[in-house]
Amino acid sequence: MLKIRYSLDLELTNSIRDMALPEELHFQVRNLVVKTKKGSVLTKGEIIAEHPAPGGGAYHAAVGGKVTGVNYHSLIVNCTGGDDVVPPVDVNSMGKGAELLRVLQGLGVGVSQLSGKAEVLVINGLNPEPGVSVAQQLLRDGREELAAGLALARRLLSPNRTVLAVPKGDEVTIPGAESVQVRAKYPYSLDALVVRAVTGREFPEDTRVMNVMDLYDLGRVSLTGLPITETLMTIAGNNYRVPIGTPVRHILTVLGLETHPGDSIVLGGPFRGEAIYSLDEGVKKTDYGLFITSSDAIPAVQDAACINCGECVLQCPARVQPHLISRCAEYERFEEAERYGLNSCFECGLCAFNCFARRPLLQYIRFAKAQLKAKGQGAQA
Ligand code: SF4
Ligand code: SF4
């Protein structure tokens, strides 16, 4: 079995740094509706694409410039723009109904956890994965934004109880929320497990959960009225504010990070992240880390047969059957995959990480969910 570190405790040594702007931004627009075209000149903050599903979100130019290429996968912006920025929107003067949610969504805020009335609002303040410290950094350095975000979230949801889940031994607070300490070990940082630790219940319908990265974004929108155009990423132990769409090649060059033949570059975290296939790929809003892994340390997944060892079942915190789900997904028997617990899986990645045969279990699970979602079935992303 692979030897890995599950602790979420990290030491913060620096404040947040700004990533230098690249010459080009490469936005990933696969499955999005593109709202601009080749040759258009964009102002910073202008919308470039939106998700076709209600609540799917919108994506904006992190810098002004000219659109030099658009295809099914990506949209390229040459960063030649000046200092002009789209006009801000005063979200705090708006009522708290559907119109505010629509505006927030249009500014790039994920609103799926902000609608309706909630009994409990849980803020997940744990670092999402081992080696990633963005949550810890924001709880230390983003307090003004987090307070503004929490005020807006509470205005929308009117919860009777607001809880900030923090790592055990940590005394951090946000005004308006009681702090509850949670075990700082992966996978206990995942939303579903944080909610269970705080409420004692599994998937309670009257509870909403947001992580501090999303709360920070909400607070920035509340304070500035401007759309979200950056993501915070842990790279080589430091946290960087990175414009969305920044090519990975630019990050490696600026930070002097070397890669070797056989290495994989993973966007996200070591358990849930996705390896990229091109250094020209631009970072997404949900990419909270960048890792370079060698095939010696973490062997690549392969198209191997399951040997029925049962390790994935033992590892699964959702108590489902990853080996059977993956076999169904492999042969496109998606409805059968649901019967083995597909929709209860919260994509922790532990099954894939610990599979002796190195089967791409998480990829199969995500594939099955995406196929069912496209058919209008399947509840969970
Ligand atoms: S990713 Fe694998 S281990 Fe994690 S909840 Fe889903 S099936 Fe279980
Ligand atoms: S860990 Fe891998 S090889 Fe073992 S039962 Fe699960 S899928 Fe099969």
Question: Cα 60 vs. chain centroid, distance in angstroms?
Answer: 17
Distances in Å between the alpha carbon of 124 and those of 121, 136, 222? 10, 11, 20
pLDDT tens for each residue of 238-255: 999 999 999 999 999 999
Report the pLDDT value the prediction gives residue 55, as an integer from 0 to 100.
67
**Ligand 2 pocket mutation, candidates 301, 302, 307, criterion most atoms within 8 A of CB:** 307
Instruction: Give the homologous superfamily in CATH for domain 108-224.
Output: NADH-ubiquinone oxidoreductase 51kDa subunit (3.40.50.11540)
Q: What is the pLDDT of residues 288-326, one digit of tens each?
A: 999 998 877 777 788 889 999 999 999 999 999 999 999
Mutation to probe ligand 1, out of 314, 344, 365 (largest number of atoms < 8 A from CB): 365
The tens digit of pLDDT for each residue in 65-104 reads 999 999 988 999 999 877 789 999 999 999 888 899 999 9
Closest-lying ligand to the alpha carbon of 309? Answer: 2
Whether residue 187 has a cis bond before it, omega within 30° of 0:
yes
Q: Which residues are within 8 A (CB) of 368 and not within 5 positions of it... i.e. 6 or more apart?
A: 325, 328, 329, 334, 337, 342, 378
Segment 90-139, tens digit of pLDDT = 999 998 888 999 999 999 998 889 988 899 999 999 999 999 999 999 99
* Stretch(es) of the chain classified as CATH 3.40.50.11540: 108-224
The residue behind tokens 């909270």 is 288
Residues in contact with 340: Cβ distance below 8 Å, sequence separation at least 6, in sequence order: 320, 321, 324, 325, 328
Query: What does the block give as tokens for 278?
Result: 């091109």
pLDDT digits (tens, 9 = 90+) for 358-372: 999 999 999 999 999
Residue nearest to atom 2 of ligand 2 (CA): 355
| Cα–ligand 2 centroid distance for 126 (angstroms) | 29
Question: Which position has the token pair 């940590």?
Answer: 170
Nearest 5°: CA angle at 247, between 215 and 141?
30
Distance 222 CA to ligand 1 centre (A): 35
Q: What is the dihedral of CA 166, 167, 172, 175, to 10 degrees?
A: 0
| Weakest mean pLDDT among 1-10, 188-197, 213-222 | 1-10
Atom 5 of ligand 1, nearest CA residue: 345
- The average pLDDT across 8-22 equals 92
Orientation angle between helical segments 143-157 and 134-141, nearest 10 degrees: 100
The whole-chain average pLDDT of the chain stands at: 92
pLDDT digits (tens, 9 = 90+) for 319-352: 999 999 999 999 999 999 999 999 999 999 999 9
d(CA 361, CA 353): 9
Count the alpha carbons within 13 Å of 317 in the hemisphere toward its beta carbon.
17
Find the length of the chain.
Answer: 381
Residue 1: which pLDDT band, with cuts at 50, 70 and 90? very low
What are the structure tokens assigned to 362, written together?
């998480």
Average pLDDT over residues 160-178: 93
The yes-or-no verdict on residue 220 having pLDDT over 50 is yes
Whole-number pLDDT of residue 380 = 44
Question: How many angstroms does the Cα of residue 317 sit away from the middle of ligand 1?
Answer: 7
> Do residues 296 and 221 make contact, with C-beta atoms less than 8 angstroms apart?
no
DSSP H or E segment with residue 358: none
Q: How far apart are CA 140 and CA 162, in angstroms?
A: 19
Helix, strand, coil fractions of the chain, as percent rounded to 5: 30, 20, 50
